[in-house]
Amino acid sequence: MQVITSHALDEARVQNARVINRLRLFTLSALLFIHTVVPQYMADLAGERVQSGLIIATSLAVLLWCVGWHSGLAARRTALAVLFLDMPATFILQWVNMTGTSVDRAVANWTLAAYVCLLMMSAMSLGRVVLLCSWVLAAILTLSLQWHAHETLLGMTSGVVLLTLALVVCHSQQRIRIQIVEQLSIEQERRERLGRFFSPEVARQITDSEEGLAAGQAKLLTVLFTDLRSFTTMSEQMEAQQVVPLLNAYFEEMVAVVFKHGGTLDKYLGDGLMIYFGAPLPQPDHAARAVCCALEMIERLDAMNQAHGLQGRPALRMGIGIHTGTAVVGTMGASHRQDYTAIGSTVNLASRLEQMTKEYEFDIIISEETRKAAGDAVRLRDAGMVQVKGVAEPMRIFTPER
C-alpha cells in the first residue's frame, strides 16, 4: 500500500510542478510586458537592469516549462526552482531596483508579499523539507532587503511573523493535500482490486456500502469451476510466445461473460477459473445465473475456436462443474495479502464435478441442488447417478440440453 500511495504522491507532485511552471511563466511574462510597455519603468539605469533580469528569468521560465512538460521526473525537479531560482531572482531584481530613498521600504515590503506567494508555490511541491527551506531563505532575503531599506525593527519583526504565519498555513494545507492524495490512492487501489474479481456494478455497490466486504459469513451460493481439457499437452506442442496470448484471450472472453451475469471471479487456476454467484451481494437467482453463464461460456469458446481454426490453431475444449450449497465467504489470507474467497464442501464438490466432465464427456455437469435452485430457467436433462469422490452417497447430476 505504501508503494501505491508513494506513486500517487509522485503523480500529484508532477502535476503541481507543472502548475508552478505555468504560474512562473505567466507572472514573469506579465512583469516583462509591463516593464517593456510602460515608459516610466525605463527612466533610469536600474530600470534597464530590471528589464534585463526579467528577460533572463522569463527565458529560464520557458526552459523549465518545456522541460517539465516533456518529462514527469524533470517536472518534479523543476519544483525546486522556487527555492533555488525564484526566491534569489526576486531578491536580486528588487535589490537593483532600490534607489536609496524612502521608496526602498515600500519595495522591501512589496517583496515580502512576493515571498508569501512563493511560499504558497513551494508548498505545492508537497515536500515538507522544501517548504521549510523556502521559509528560511525567504526570511533571510526579506530581512536583508528590509535592513538595506532601513526598515524599523517593528517592521522587520512583523515581516518574519507574517512569513511564519504563511508557513503554518502552507504546511497545514500541504498536509491536508497529502492526506487527500493518499486517501484517493487507497480508494482507487481498492476499486481496481475489486474490479479484478467483481463486475463493475457489484464493485460499485461494494464500494458504496458502509460494510464493505464482510468476513467469515456462511452464505448460500452457487460455485462454478472451469478447466481447459488437455491444455497442458496442447501447450507443450505450441511456441511459448503463443501460449500466453491464447490464454489471455480465453480469460478475456470468459471473465467478460462472468461479469455480464454478475458472477464473482474468485481466482485463476492455471488454465481454469473458480467463480461463484450469490456473494458478496445477495442474488436470489444465483443458481440460474451460474447455469446461464456456463452456457454462454461454452458459446464464446465455440466462437473462439472458429476464429482460431482459421489461423490453424487447435480447438479448445472446456469442462464446467456447478454446485449450489452453503460456503464460508470472507477476506482471507496473510495480513499483507488478502483476497475475498469462498471455502467449504460446496466449493470442493463443484471442483470435483468439473473434473468429472472429462470422464463423462459432458461440457457442463450440474448438481441436483443447483437444478432445484435454478428452477425452470434452463432446460436440463438427467445424466444419471454418479459417485463423487469424498461424498458418501451417490448423487444425481444434470447437463443442459443443447
Q: Specify the pLDDT at position 210.
A: 44
The Cα-based distances of 41 to 37, 175, 248 in angstroms read 9, 41, 68
Cβ–Cβ under 8 Å, residues 195 and 206 = no
Q: Comparing C-alpha atoms, which of 6, 22, 28 is closest to residue 126?
A: 6
* Cα–Cα separations (whole angstroms), residue 263 to 196, 213, 214, 217, 378: 12, 15, 17, 18, 17
Query: Which cell goes with 101?
Result: 530613498
Could you tell me which residues come within 8 angstroms of residue 359 by beta carbon, excluding any fewer than 6 positions away? none
Please provide residue 276's backbone torsions phi and psi, each rounded to the nearest 5 degrees. Answer: -145, 160
- Taking the C-alpha atoms of residue 71 and residue 227, their distance in angstroms, rounded to an integer, is 45
Q: Which residues pair with 342 in a beta bridge?
A: 329
Q: What is the pLDDT of residue 266?
A: 87
Residues 28-61 as b/e (b if ≥16 CB within 10 A, e otherwise) read beebbeebeeeeebeeeeebeebbebbeebbebb
Question: Minimal CA–CA distance to 325: which of 226, 219, 396?
Answer: 219
CA-to-CA distance for 288 and 274, rounded, in angstroms? Answer: 17
DSSP 197-224: HS-HHHHHHHHH-SS-S-SSEEEEEEEE
pLDDT of residue 369: 95
Strand pairing category for 395-400 and 380-386? antiparallel
Q: In this predicted structure, what is the pLDDT of residue 1? A: 46
Per-residue exposure over 280-319, b if at least 16 CB sit within 10 Å of its own CB, e if not: beebebbbbbbbbbbbbbbebbeebeeebeeeeeeebbbb
The pLDDT value recorded for residue 253 is 92
The set of long-range contacts for 194-198, using a CB threshold of 8 Å and a minimum separation of 24, is: 196/265, 197/264, 197/265, 197/266, 197/339, 197/340, 198/259, 198/264, 198/265, 198/280
The residues of the chain scoring below 70 in pLDDT are: 1-5, 38-49, 186-216, 309-313, 333-338, 402
pLDDT attached to residue 39:
54
pLDDT of residue 275: 93
DSSP 8-state secondary structure symbol assigned to residue 313: P
Per-residue pLDDT of 16-75, as tens digits, reads 888 888 988 998 888 888 777 765 544 454 556 677 878 888 888 898 888 888 888 888
Cell of 319: 469442462
